Amino acid sequence: MSKRPLVPSFLQKLDDKLLRNKPGAWATRVHLVIYFVAAFALLLFVFCYAVFFDAKQYSRIESWNVFVGLIAFIGFVFWLIFLLRFNVFKRYGNWSAMDGLRDFALYFISIGAMVAVCFVPSAVETMRANQQFGNEEIVKDINELNINACRLEYNILPLEWTVDTCKLVDKARFPQAVDVVVPTPDTVIDSVRAEEEYNRIRYTYLDTAELRSKLEIADSVLKLNDSLYVFYQCPNYRFISSYNADDYSAVKMFSSADIYNSTVKNYKKPDRSALMKRMVELQAKYASNSPYYYGEYNTIDENDNYETRINKTYDFTRIGNGIDNAVRKKQAWIEDWPMYLRIFYYTTLLLTMLVFIFRHSTVKTFFLSVLAALLLAILTGLLMVVSQGDEISALSFMIVYYVVFAVLGLSIFKTGVRKAVQGIGLNLFLFATPFVPLIFVALNEAMQYNRYSEPLRVYEERDPAQTALYFLIAEIAGSVILVILIQPLFKKLYRKWYSAPEE
Partner 1 sequence: MNNPAAEISSYLKHGDYSVAVRRTLDLCLDSGNDVLIEKAIGWSRQYHAIELGEAGKALPAVFSEEAEKILQEASATGAGSVEQHKHLISAENISKKYNNGSFSLKPINLSVDTGDVLGVVGENGNGKTTLLRCLAGQLGLNNGVIRYHLLENPDAYAIKNHIAFIPQRIPKWYGMLKDNLHFSAAIAGINGDKNNLMVDFMLERLNLSSYAHLTWDQISSGYRTRFEIARILLQKPRLLILDEPLANLDINAQQTILTDLIFMAKGIHNPMGIILSSQQLHEVEKVADSVIFIKQGNCIYKSSDAEGKITSNAVEFETKAERESIIRLFGEGNIELQFNGGFYTIISATLSSQEIIGKLIDAKIPVTYFRDITYSTKRFF
**Does residue 23 interact with partner 1 by CB under 8 A?**
yes
Instruction: Check binding of 312 to partner 1 (CB under 8 A).
Output: no
Among the residue ranges 52-60, 82-90, 370-378, 468-476, the one whose residues contact partner 1 (CB under 8 A): 82-90
| Dist CA 141 CA 185 (whole Å) | 39
Q: Are strands 228-233 and 220-225 parallel, antiparallel or unpaired?
A: antiparallel
User: 167 or 360, CB closer to partner 1?
Assistant: 360
Nearest approach, Cβ of residue 418 and partner 1 (Å)? 8
Note whether 488 binds partner 1 by CB under 8 A. no
Residue type for position 381: G
Q: Residue 113 in 3-state DSSP? A: helix
Applying CB under 8 A, the site for partner 1 has a residue count of 29
Task: Identify which of 420, 348, 375 has the alpha carbon closest to the alpha carbon of residue 114.
Answer: 348
CB atoms within 10 A of CB 55: 25
What are the b/e assignments for 20-49, b being 16+ CB within 10 Å?
eeebbbbbbbbbbbbbbbeebbeebbeebe
* Residue 264 contacts residue 277 (beta carbons within 8 Å): no
Q: Is 363 in the site for partner 1 (CB under 8 A)?
A: no
Q: How far apart are CA 397 and CA 430, in angstroms?
A: 17
**Binding region for partner 1 (CB under 8 A) out of 89-97, 173-181, 196-204, 292-300:** 89-97
* Cβ nearer to partner 1, comparing 291 with 416: 416
| Residue 89 or 405 with smaller CB distance to partner 1 | 89
- Site membership for partner 1, residue 91 (CB under 8 A): yes
The SS3 of residue 268 is coil
182 binds partner 1 (CB under 8 A): no
Shortest spacing between CB 495 and partner 1, in angstroms = 5
Indicate the DSSP class of residue 292.
Answer: P
CA–CA gap between residue 148 and residue 150 (Å, rounded): 5
Least distance to partner 1, CB of residue 463, Å: 51
> Closest separation between CB of residue 114 and partner 1, Å?
21
Residue range at the interface with partner 1 (CB under 8 A); choices 120-128, 292-300, 464-472, 492-500:
492-500
Query: Using CB under 8 A, which of 184, 213, 289, 499 touches partner 1?
Result: 499
> Parallel, antiparallel, or unpaired: how do β-strands 162-168 and 228-233 relate?
antiparallel
In the bound complex, what is the minimum distance in angstroms from residue 503's beta carbon to partner 1? 6
Amino acid identity, position 217:
I
- Cα(119)–Cα(65) distance, integer angstroms: 7
| Residue 501 is a binding residue for partner 1 (CB under 8 A) | yes
CB of 15 to partner 1, least distance (A): 10
Binding mask 401-430 for partner 1 (x = CB under 8 A): ---------------xx-------------
Largest CA-CA distance found in the chain, in angstroms, rounded? 96
Q: Closer to partner 1 at the Cβ: 81 or 250?
A: 81
Helices and strands in the chain, H and E counts: 18, 4
Burial annotation 460-490 (CB, 10 A radius, 16+ → b, else e): eeeeeeeeeebeeebbebbbeebeebbbebb
86 binds partner 1 (CB under 8 A): yes
Tell me how far, at minimum, the Cβ of 12 lies from partner 1, in Å: 12
x/- binding map, residues 441-480, to partner 1, per CB under 8 A?
Answer: ----------------------------------------
> Is the Cβ of residue 85 or residue 202 nearer to partner 1 in the bound state?
85
Side-chain-side CA neighbours of residue 252 (13 Å): 5
What is the C-alpha separation between 214 and 189, in angstroms, rounded?
14
* CA pair distance 31, 24, nearest whole angstrom: 12
Q: Which is nearer to partner 1, 77 or 456 (CB)?
A: 77
DSSP code, position 479: H
Residue 58 lies near partner 1 (rule: CB under 8 A)? no
Question: How much helix, strand and coil, in percent to the nearest 5, is found in the chain?
Answer: 65, 5, 30
Cβ proximity to partner 1: between 19 and 404 the closer is 19
93 is a site residue for partner 1 (CB under 8 A): yes
Q: Does 502 bind partner 1 (CB under 8 A)?
A: yes
Q: Which residues bind partner 1 (CB under 8 A)?
A: 1-2, 19-24, 26-27, 82, 84-86, 88, 91-94, 416-417, 495-496, 498-503
